[in-house]
Structure 1
Amino acid sequence: MRLQFILAEIGHGLRRNLSMSISVVLVTFVSLTFVGAAGLLQMQIDTMKGEWYDRVQVSIFLCPDFSDVPSCAGGEATPEQIEAIRAELEGEGLAPYVERVYFETKEQAFESFQDLYGDNSTFAAVTVDQMQASFRVALVDPSQYEVVSETFQGRTGVETVEDQRELLEPLILLLNRSSLVAAGLAAVMLLAAVLLITTTIRLSAMSRRRETGIMRLVGASNLFIQLPFMLEGAIAATIGAAMSIAGLWFGVTYLIEDWLAGSIRFVNFIQADAVWTVAPLLVVVAIGLAAISSVVTLSRYTKV
């Protein structure tokens, strides 16, 4: 009997404040979509870091004929200089830091260049002699790039030492800032959702003050009186969370898996399964919004 009464009160309250309830659903949907997007973006960043940083290499570019770097004053790196660098890279001193070493000749560099730009007429005049030989060094720990850089930077026969992480950092920084922007927008929208749920519960409580007074006169407890109002907000917020989860799933499936993953093949994008990882968080946040709004509102507006 009590359950039937509570359900009837919930239905009555939702119908009476239908426009406000719809507003709660929509604001919760938008705010939780930003929360979920921020979480998914951070997951994508972590995936890219884990994948790309494991592949990152240190490139030791050897002197070509045309360099004006002081360490290349003697011209192109000689075979003796190349072998000395190789021996040190493969020696015991750098063994704790170096995982593997690959030497790329000018001819191999030219082949790679042709694979990338062979169809571009702008680079048709490029020849093998304009390429640079280089050592590609995979590190055990990519963060210890400085060990290799300090060892070979400025050495005779070496033009420059480059860390490929420097190419990745601007992209990672951009994605991190995008994640922070999404999180900031989510926080603003969550505040708006709390205020709107609070307003909805307050209006519903004020419109039923007479019923509330009667219930209190017959000995109903505070929980029994307040429960329908709390559940109204929780139901509206949970519907918004469900819409947010569905929207994120469709977004990841059709925008990322079907479109981006097909267009940008060198990035390992997150899959739709990642949405189910953040889904419980979104539901918990939705229920938390309703709970906070209820605590703020009901203690005052259900008093008679």
Structure 2
Amino acid sequence: MVGIIGIVVIFVMVFGGYTLHGGKMGIVLEAAPWEMIMIGGAAVGAFIISNDMPSIKHTLKDVGKVFKGAKWKPSDYRDLLCLLFELIRLARQNPVAIEEHIEAPESSSIFSKYPKIVHDHEAVELICDTMRSASMNYDDPHQVEEVLEKQLDANLHHALHGSHALQQVADGLPALGIVAAVLGVIKTMASIDQPPEILGAMIGSALVGTFMGVFMAYGLVGPFAAKVQTVVSEDAHFYKLIREVLVANLHNHATNICIEVGRQNTPHHIRPSFSELEEALKAVKDAA
């Protein structure tokens, strides 16, 4: 919703200001379809050339994040802490019993309580692989933390590809707008024998190309890229929370302390309150 509001504000302010200042929308509307074919078509072509098919699909999927926002909501962070609490408590009480949950999370009675998390391959893999390593005596907290940090950095780098691809398109749009404008000038020069009023309209039409290239770059595609980067970076906190809790577990802190370490390392605007988490953990204990 916020993304849609932003787009509406951009169009209203730019074209509203133009018309209020006495500008005529006729020239813009008449030239826009042809300029869009050249500028938009060239931008799409360049985007296809510079990316493989998985990256193209990834980027197109990321565009939806501009309007949907972050995948993980505050309630999901609470659920994640509850899930980790159950897993750590079970691992300490019965190291053998935990194996069925981390080896087959899709059929685990613990994971099944949190369907949104269990359907996220990256989160489940991070939890299960780390707990499996701990059960194999690969329990040097500093070494595990370093491995997890590298894994999270690699995952984040991959997740940000859509943002980088959109930014590359945004960087090229002004130049493509100039290309369209130059072609318009070439067309105008071929009609140099026409009256001034006709030449003026043709030059104005040509300049629409420059306008549209710059407008799409800085008014639409560039902000889209920035928004995708913001959303991806915010979602990355979800996986960092997993690292913080599981590393605290390897330091042999009390289970409640491990969960509190994760809660406190969560950004404030998505962090569950202490009392809210306590109530959720109490419900988990009562259900056990």
Q: Which has the higher contact order (CA 8 A, sep 6+)?
A: 1
Larger radius of gyration: 1
Structure with a larger share of its residues in strand: 1
Determine which structure has the larger helix proportion and give its number.
Answer: 2
TM range (shorter): 0.3 to 0.5
TM-score normalised by L of structure 2 = 0.33
TM score, norm. by length of structure 1:
0.31
